[in-house]
Structure 1
Amino acid sequence: MFEVREKPQMVERALLVRLYFDPREAEESEALLEELGELVSTLGIGIVEKILVRSREMHKKFLCGTGKAAEIAELAKAHECDCLVFDNQLAPSQQREWERAADMTVLDREEVILDIFAKRAQTKEARLQVELARMQYALPRLARMWGHLDREGGSGGGMGGGAARGMGEKQIEVDRRMANVRIDRARRELEEVRKQRATQRKEREKMETPHAAIVGYTNAGKSTLLNKLSGADVMAKDMLFATLDTTTRKIELPDGQPLLITDTVGFVRNLPHRLVEAFKATLEEAVLADFLIHVLDATSPEIERFHETTLKVLGELGAVDKTTITVLNKIDLVTDPDRLGALRQLYPEALQISAFNGLGMEALLQRCSEVLADRVRRHRYRIPQSRADLLGMLHRDAKVLSTDYEENDILVTAVVPAAIAGRLEPFAV
């Protein structure tokens, strides 16, 4: 039966490689190679060495020339590695050529990210999305995953491993067929999950509760921020892609207005397009939110590139033009005055916060209130006691600040969303 190999369970020592072709890309390539090291370490694979290799031109077989390829393969063997990990995206044929040349497992950046996602997915939706992305990645690579794929079998099905084959049908054809069946099934199940999310979203919209989505580069502190604002217990660790599943919590703003806040999966440079596609069901929370809270790691030397990456992914999702509150997280760890000044110059409108110790939370909540200021008004109503339905609506859909009784009337002061203010207007004091 077709199956994706669990390579992280098979390898222990890895040589990390990034190939680049333009001398102007050297600095960025070095940063990407360091990030690849963090990704690989997240899988628990030991890193023997990281090498940056410049090639004058891109070659079809190995990306680089055969001479450089031989040098890289020999270096990996000299270090007794059992895995080569490339920060570049390798075509299936290139992956096969590297495995033949080095005689060891070869991964690229996309496969590393997919394996991390597979280990971290918790909910049914996230698992389905990861399974779909892994299947789509593995389908053109089936030929390197098996050593028996060129065998042919008759129609008896005895050699089919549980799957009947037609006359002259090769095992690889059976496996491809089974992979396509699993891809179709995952897509159908994911569509059902998306329908359920749409139903839940409609229920939220009926309540007219405003919604914010926390977005940003992976490991910027999004889950920690949600935990601090809401008292939630979302897993927040110093690791890449600690959160794959969306979590929504309800909080109360300083003006008494309720707000739903959703934590989303982090972005990363060179995020495989198929992952963006697969996680659209999760990431569409950012598209449909009333506004975004963009979290930046103030301690990162590459904060500008991380900012650009997040905007690029939001652009792919159609959410780049949304009202956005930018926050510089971990600001308590920035002690260099020059660095602080540079950050203020780069992001003059950004709030400086620390999600870990709570610094700047009041200012952030106040900014959220300001963004939604046109959606709420504070009103005072005189409601007859016979109109318990109106009182119930206020308690359900608004924020009741005070209640007093005067003869047969109830005097209510409340923060009221614009959606229900019209129905209450005849009773306004």
Structure 2
Amino acid sequence: MTEDSLPTDILAHMIAINNVPPPPLRSIPRLKVRKTINYGQLNALCHIRGLESRRNSSLYLAAHDTFIKQYPQIFLHEKTVLPKVPQPVEKRPVYRTIHEHNFVWKMLKNIPALTSQLRMIGDDGLYIMLTGHARRRVKVFRSLIEEEDSIVSSISRESFLFDVDLKDSTVVEFYVPSKKLTVKKWGVFGSLEVRPDMDECERSIVTDDDCEILKIPTKEYEKLKLEKVKRENAQKLKLIRKCPFYEIWPTLSIYELVSLSTFKIFPPGHVLVESGDIISFVGFINSGYCNIYRNIVGLVDLSLKVKKIKKLVYMGKLKERESFGEISILLQSPFTCTIITGREVEMAIIEDKDILALDPITKELMIQTAKPTFGHLTEEDVKNEYIKKVQEKEWKYFKNKTIQGIFQSKGVLPGFGKWEHDWSTIPKNFKSSLITYT
């Protein structure tokens, strides 16, 4: 059975079953079908009502039209399966091997249009040259009309031409690699800060060979700075809150001081403020300590006369988590003592201009809670301390001189014994506090 004879055989089968005259063959569409029949549809097609009604022509014609329309449904059409289109395997540069990278690099270097673009613009970070050699780009102006200095001769001399800008009809502006400004190993270009006005030679280079460059992105550096500021603010908040004058302060007011403070380190022996001066900052000691001295006029007995001199008397120290300078700045009152660092001191300081710019409520709160540094000391206290120090010094001098005189009169020299012993061993019954037993 062929595809062209299949419809005729089917019609013959239907005629034999239903004893129905066949419709005109010219009205049956000739379809190219496969040899697969849906017998359920064929059975429904054979039992269409009206095909056996020869007398009722209208019913027969309607059944005939239905037959013609449903006739193609008896054939099972296989779905066309298109061949699968293979998906291209995407291999990103990060997954390439060293051999593949070298191959791509050599291939790209042979393309002049790409070779002329081997440059780096450092406008989004700081770049550090680890290996290789590069040249900085400089701005050059060339004339288009002078024969001696034409643009053609300029291009031939400079070997690379970038970013050409025609300023007017006679002058052209472009950037070329400098022969003198080079970037070698550990050289840098670009910036860690956003600088729109950065000069071209600071931010742009042209590589001469294979270069390995380390990049520090500006955005990531900004994140690090924000994290550092956040940690420092938390440390300053903890420091100020633990100072005695600020234990009862509201958090909002302390945050205002935190935003104005900065950490600073002072070396040992540094004079922070002298007696009689107004200090220029408020200090919050984070580590180390400061010695407090008061001035006093003392008498020095010279050979022929007594002279008055100013001396510093040690009166105490400022320790960690203590502050000073608030009253001196707010009331513009001179310090009554001298403050000198005893060892390296780290402090959070607030400049006097920032303290004076605080809102009136915060300044009044600071005046009410803070106290002058060692303001409880009176002149009598300083004199008594000075007399005590002088007496201790005189007694020490007298004691040492007396003991030394006794030693010399008895022939005793410190560090030398008066008798010598030739004992090979120390007797067991010999006990002396001057001998150390081993």
Same fold, judged at TM 0.5 (above): no
Higher helix fraction (1 or 2): 1
**Higher CA-based Rg:** 2
User: TM-score, normalization: structure 2?
Assistant: 0.18
